[in-house]
A = this chain, B = another copy of it.
Amino acid sequence: MARTTFRLRCDAGIDAFAAQECREGLERLYGSDLWREDAEWTVSLSRKPDLPPEGYRLSGAPGSISVEAADDRGLLYGVYAFLRRAALGEEFSALKETAVPAAARRMLDHWDNVDGSIERGYAGASLFFRDGRLSYDPERIKDYARLLASVGVNHISLNNVNVRGGALRLITDDMLPEVAALAGLLRPFGLRLILSVHFDSPMLLGGLSTADPCDTKVSAWWQETAERVYRYIPDLSGFLVKADSEFQNGPASFGRTQADGANTIARALSPYGGMVFWRCFVYLCTQDWRDTVTDRPMAAYDHFHSLDGRFDDNVMLQIKNGPMDFQPREPLSPLFGAMPRTRQALEVQLTQEYTGQQIDLYALPVQWQEIFSSPITGERVLRDLIGQEVGGVSGVANVGDEENWTGHTLAQCNLYAFGRMAWDPSLTARQIVEEWVKLTFGRDPRLTEPLIAMMLSSRNTYEKYTAPLGIGWMVNISHHYGPNVEGYEYSPWGTYHRADWQAIGIDRTRGGTGYAAQYHPDVERLYSDLTTCPEELLLFFHRLPYTYPLQNGKTLLQHIYDTHFEGVEEVRGFVKTWESLRELLPESAYESVARKLALQLANAREWRDVVNTYFYRKTGKPDEHGRPIHK
Contact across chains for A631 and B500 when beta carbons are under 8 A apart: yes
Those of A587-629 within 8 Å (CB) of chain B: 606, 609-610, 613, 616-620
Complex CA–CA separation, A500 to B619 (angstroms): 8
Complex CA–CA separation, A610 to B610 (angstroms): 20
Complex CA–CA separation, A554 to B501 (angstroms): 22
Task: Identify the closest chain B residue to A501 (Cβ).
Answer: B620
- Asked if A551 CB lies within 8 Å of chain B CBs, one says no
Partner of A610, one of B490, B609, B620, B630: B490
Complex CA–CA separation, A292 to B619 (angstroms): 21
Contact across chains for A490 and B501 when beta carbons are under 8 A apart: no
Provide the residues of chain B in CB contact with A303, threshold 8 Å.
none
Provide the residues of chain B in CB contact with A470, threshold 8 Å.
none
Contact across chains for A617 and B490 when beta carbons are under 8 A apart: no
Known contacts A484-B490, A490-B484; is-contact A499 B609 (Cβ 8 Å): no
Task: Identify the closest chain B residue to A611 (Cβ).
Answer: B490
A-B contact pairs, 14 of them (CB 8 A): A292-B631, A483-B490, A485-B486, A490-B606, A490-B610, A490-B613, A500-B616, A500-B617, A500-B618, A500-B631, A501-B617, A501-B619, A502-B620, A617-B618
Known contacts A610-B490, A618-B618; is-contact A498 B631 (Cβ 8 Å): yes
- Asked if A3 CB lies within 8 Å of chain B CBs, one says no
Complex CA–CA separation, A617 to B614 (angstroms): 12
A338 to chain B, nearest CB (A): 31
Provide the residues of chain B in CB contact with A477, threshold 8 Å.
477
Partner of A290, one of B290, B500, B501, B630: B630
Contact across chains for B630 and A500 when beta carbons are under 8 A apart: no
Chain A interface, DSSP helix/strand/loop, else mixed: loop
Those of A220-259 within 8 Å (CB) of chain B: none
A residues sitting closer than 8 Å to B (CB atoms) are 289-290, 292, 477, 483-486, 490, 498-502, 606, 609-610, 613, 616-620, 630-631
**The 10 residue pairs across chains A and B that have the minimum distance between CB atoms:** A500-B617, A501-B620, A290-B630, A490-B610, A486-B486, A501-B501, A501-B618, A618-B618, A290-B609, A501-B617
Contact across chains for B620 and A500 when beta carbons are under 8 A apart: yes
A608 to chain B, nearest CB (A): 11
Provide the residues of chain B in CB contact with A501, threshold 8 Å.
501, 617-620
Task: Identify the closest chain B residue to A291 (Cβ).
Answer: B630
Provide the residues of chain B in CB contact with A630, threshold 8 Å.
289-290
What 11 additional pairs, Cβ within 8 angstroms, besides A500-B620, A501-B501, A502-B620?
Answer: A484-B490, A486-B486, A490-B610, A498-B617, A498-B631, A499-B617, A500-B631, A501-B617, A501-B620, A617-B618, A618-B618
Provide the residues of chain B in CB contact with A617, threshold 8 Å.
498-501, 618
Complex CA–CA separation, A292 to B630 (angstroms): 10
Complex CA–CA separation, A380 to B484 (angstroms): 44
Task: Identify the closest chain B residue to A619 (Cβ).
Answer: B501
Which of A483, A499, A613 has the largest number of chain B CB atoms within 10 A?
A: A613
A542 to chain B, nearest CB (A): 16
Provide the residues of chain B in CB contact with A616, threshold 8 Å.
500
